[in-house]
Amino acid sequence: MTDLVALAALITLESSHFPSQKMDALPQPIPPLIFASLALSTTATAFALTALSLLASPLLWTIPASFAPTLFHHTTILFQARILAHGSARVFSKFKVICAFIIALGWSLCTCVVIAATVLKSLNTFPKYDMGVGLWIMVFCATIALIESGILWGVAVLCRKERKRITYAAKWRPINTNLSWRFVTRKNFCRSINDVTLLVSLARDIQFALFIYY
């Protein structure tokens, strides 16, 4: 009965801490970096689509193409951080960490492409792509893409660091809790009592046999 009460108390204690654990599933500064990345990538995509509608270089399509996996990756991490417990390895799985580095690399390549398109536009290399607005919109897209690339590399490195911390902590996490130790101790104690009872009974039988013999 005492063990059941202790188990109920343990479950109640864990449940009371569960909401706060979910709130802290993403360590700092990963959340602000993710939100900043979403804001910058959305802004860059909006300006890139605007420039494309004004007959800008088709090379700007690399920005919307990079935005799609970024949005999916970030929203997945934020969603799982809300529903999973603190320290869950699923939030920073190996697949997500690899995807973070791939997305960061993709934005780096996207930045190089946009910068190249901006330079070509400034040199008027392709006259057929004559935008209805000035060159500033392409310069703005290139700048935002460069900043976004730096933020994503930071997110990827921090996600990898957090995954290593979680896996290292899980490796050294004790298997038996205090409650399970109590159950094992109680079981061993009962087994010892049974052994003593058996020995006492055997001693009585031997004593009775000797009494009859003599």
Name the DSSP class of 9: H
**Is 65 in the same domain as 106?**
yes
Overall domain count for the chain: 2
Could you give the angle at which helices 62-83 and 30-53 cross, rounded to 10 degrees?
A: 150
Please tell me the distance from the alpha carbon of residue 47 to that of residue 50, in angstroms, as a whole number: 5
**Is 210 in the same domain as 125?**
no
Please report the pLDDT score of residue 89 as a whole number.
74
Please tell me the distance from the alpha carbon of residue 45 to that of residue 194, in angstroms, as a whole number: 75
**Is 117 in the same domain as 168?**
yes
**Is 137 in the same domain as 196?**
no
Select the more confidently predicted residue: 73 or 172.
Answer: 73
Is the pLDDT score of 14 beyond 90?
A: no
**Is 54 in the same domain as 79?**
yes
Select the more confidently predicted residue: 17 or 78.
Answer: 78
Please tell me the distance from the alpha carbon of residue 200 to that of residue 192, in angstroms, as a whole number: 12
Is the pLDDT score of 176 beyond 50?
A: no
- φ, ψ for residue 126, nearest 5 deg: -115, 90
**Is 141 in the same domain as 200?**
no
- Answer yes or no: is 196 within a domain: yes
- Answer yes or no: is 72 within a domain: yes
Please report the pLDDT score of residue 152 as a whole number.
96
- Answer yes or no: is 1 within a domain: no
Please report the pLDDT score of residue 63 as a whole number.
94
Label residue 181 by pLDDT band (50, 70, 90): very low
pLDDT (tens digit, 9 = 90+) per residue, 85-96? 666 777 888 898
Q: What is the DSSP string of 44-100?
A: HHHHHHHHHHTT--GGGGHHHHHHHHHHHHHHHHHHHHHHSPTT-TTTT-HHHHHHH
**Is 213 in the same domain as 158?**
no
Mean predicted lDDT score pLDDT of the chain: 76
**Is 66 in the same domain as 158?**
yes
Q: Is the peptide bond before 29 cis (omega within 30 degrees of 0)?
A: yes
Please report the pLDDT score of residue 153 as a whole number.
96
Is the pLDDT score of 211 beyond 90?
A: no
- Answer yes or no: is 15 within a domain: no
Return the minimum-mean-pLDDT range out of 13-22, 50-59, 155-164.
Answer: 13-22
The candidate with the shortest Cα–Cα distance to 104, out of 74, 140, 141, is: 74
Select the more confidently predicted residue: 188 or 48.
Answer: 48
Please report the pLDDT score of residue 44 as a whole number.
94
Q: Quick one: how far is CA 5 from the chain centroid?
A: 35
* Residue 112: domain span: 22-173
What's the one-letter identity of residue 72?
A: F
- Answer yes or no: is 4 within a domain: no
Please tell me the distance from the alpha carbon of residue 152 to that of residue 101, in angstroms, as a whole number: 8
Q: What is the pTM assigned to this prediction?
A: 0.66
Four-residue CA torsion sign, 44, 36, 72, 167 = positive
**Is 152 in the same domain as 191?**
no
Residue 59 near residue 113, CB atoms below 8 Å:
yes
The candidate with the shortest Cα–Cα distance to 48, out of 106, 97, 111, 3, is: 111
Is the pLDDT score of 66 beyond 70?
A: yes
Is the pLDDT score of 16 beyond 50?
A: no
Is the pLDDT score of 29 beyond 70?
A: yes
Please tell me the distance from the alpha carbon of residue 214 to that of residue 211, in angstroms, as a whole number: 5
Percent helix, strand, coil in the chain, to 5, is 80, 0, 20
